[in-house]
Amino acid sequence: MTFIFKYFDIKPYIRKFTRSKFANKVFGFVKANRVLVKISCYALVGLCALIISFVSVGITVGFKVNYSGKVIATVSDASVFDSAKDIAVKNISGTNADKALEKPVFIMTLTVADKLCSADTLADAIIENTNDISQGTALVVNGEIKICTQGEGLSDMLEARLTQYYVDGAENTSSFTDKVELVDGYYLNEDLKNVFDAQTIIDDLDVKTVSTTVTENTVTYSVKKIKTSSYETGYHKIYKEGQNGVTRTTVVSETVNGTQSCENKVSKETISEPSEQVEIIGTAAPKVSATERAEASSEGFIFPLNRGTYQITSYYGDGRNHKGIDLGANTGTAIFAVSDGTVTYAGYDGDYGYNVVVDHGNGIQTRYAHASALCVSKGDKVSQGDMIAAVGNTGWSTGSHLHFEVIVNGVRVNPAPYIGL
Ligand SMILES: [Zn+2]
């Protein structure tokens, strides 16, 4: 400025203005209305101070929004409400959403700029304070709203539908064949239905269920019998015990609404292989010949067990009206037919357990009871000295032994004389 004043002297201009007619009028007015001018000056200064202080603390003019009988926000102008209304309508499901909204009343007010409400916040307040709108859940199938309800019921009903076709004892998974969603949101009260109204819609949804069933099966071991002349006939020993194997079968079935929709997928795997049982069976001729044994008996019967393999534990008629003779021997010891004949019984029979009856003709039969194994079947012809069974402990027996009977014309007689005792 000082630079300018060096070239342009302002003083002549001021002198010219103070001498002008306009200046005379102004000064005249001020002299005539001195008090009024003074008051106006003070008022002007005061107003400026007020505006400066309002601006400095951020006070501004705004509008209270009275909505549904309640002040819900303060906005800078009415257009904020219009924007908020558009947002609210977008967030409400239903075609009549804008009709549900009420008309606001605006009341001018002074407010702090920070307190002015944004359109987004006001939209939430509008939704919260609109009587005809409530929170709810919609069942949406392939993008289309099927029903809107309040409360948690829909999710439980969908879960029940999904598990409806589960197979007991299987591992199950299921899904809807359509895209089914539950969408929480704001809905018009007139669109909200009772949750039970959704049942028929849910029952119509197609459910695909995949069930996997796993079963384990036992594979029985095989028995290998090794016959050897190293041991006498009647020798029978388990050399190696067999172990059953296990297989696992997995069946995957697929159904739609409980009806099979494709062929079952079956897969089998071996968990453990069975291991063979090995048994040793003696084939060597008895040390005492059949002829030798036959010589000892009155009827030409040989003894049913090899000498030295037994001990008499009970005679005929002993205590309990015993109708045979008991010969204690190890399980597996060979039992021989005492004479030629035909097998009339070979099987399991109550107290006798496994037993064989041989008919020798002339009304004479012999019975061999409590056996562990049978070597003959009904109808077989046997010769004297044939192994027909093995000593055991089956039926009413308290220890491994042969119960031997001689039956003459249907009467069980004392067998002792028949076998040389
Ligand atoms: Zn007996």
Q: Please give the distance, rounded to the nearest whole angstrom, from the Cα atom of residue 326 to the centre of ligand 1.
A: 5
Q: What are phi and psi of 329, to 5 degrees?
A: -155, 160
Q: Tell me: pLDDT of 3 over 50.
A: no
Q: Please give the distance, rounded to the nearest whole angstrom, from the Cα atom of residue 351 to the centre of ligand 1.
A: 10
Q: Enter the pTM of the model.
A: 0.48
Q: Please give the distance, rounded to the nearest whole angstrom, from the Cα atom of residue 394 to the centre of ligand 1.
A: 12
Q: Please give the distance, rounded to the nearest whole angstrom, from the Cα atom of residue 9 to the centre of ligand 1.
A: 159
Q: Tell me: pLDDT of 277 over 90.
A: no
Q: Please give the distance, rounded to the nearest whole angstrom, from the Cα atom of residue 370 to the centre of ligand 1.
A: 9
Compute CA distances 108 → 54, 62, 101, whole Å. 16, 6, 22
Q: Tell me: pLDDT of 5 over 50.
A: no
More confident residue, 352 or 223: 352
Q: What are phi and psi of 352, to 5 degrees?
A: -70, -20
Which one of 3.90.400.10, 3.40.50.300, 2.70.70.10, 2.60.40.420 gives the CATH number of domain 288-419? 2.70.70.10
Q: Please give the distance, rounded to the nearest whole angstrom, from the Cα atom of residue 402 to the centre of ligand 1.
A: 7
Share of the chain above pLDDT 90, in %: 52
Per-position b or e across 316-341, b if 16+ CB within 10 A of its CB? beeeeebbbbbbbbbbbbbbbbbbeb
| Tokens encoding 352 | 């006798």
Q: Please give the distance, rounded to the nearest whole angstrom, from the Cα atom of residue 405 to the centre of ligand 1.
A: 8
Q: Please give the distance, rounded to the nearest whole angstrom, from the Cα atom of residue 261 to the centre of ligand 1.
A: 65
Q: Where does 91-152 show beta strands of DSSP type E?
A: 92-93, 105-112, 133-141, 144-149
* CATH number, span 215-280: 2.20.230.10
Q: How confident is the model at residue 26 (pLDDT cuts 50, 70, 90)?
A: low
| Tokens encoding 82 | 């219009």
More confident residue, 102 or 394: 394
Residue owning tokens 């010219």: 16
Q: Please give the distance, rounded to the nearest whole angstrom, from the Cα atom of residue 349 to the centre of ligand 1.
A: 14
pLDDT tens-digit map of 103-135: 999 999 988 888 898 999 999 899 888 888 888
Q: Please give the distance, rounded to the nearest whole angstrom, from the Cα atom of residue 34 to the centre of ligand 1.
A: 155
Q: How confident is the model at residue 281 (pLDDT cuts 50, 70, 90)?
A: confident
Q: Please give the distance, rounded to the nearest whole angstrom, from the Cα atom of residue 397 to the centre of ligand 1.
A: 8
What is the DSSP-derived secondary structure letter of residue 182? E
User: What is the rounded distance in angstroms from the CA atom of residue 10 to the CA atom of residue 15?
Assistant: 9
Q: Please give the distance, rounded to the nearest whole angstrom, from the Cα atom of residue 409 to the centre of ligand 1.
A: 20
Q: How confident is the model at residue 34 (pLDDT cuts 50, 70, 90)?
A: confident
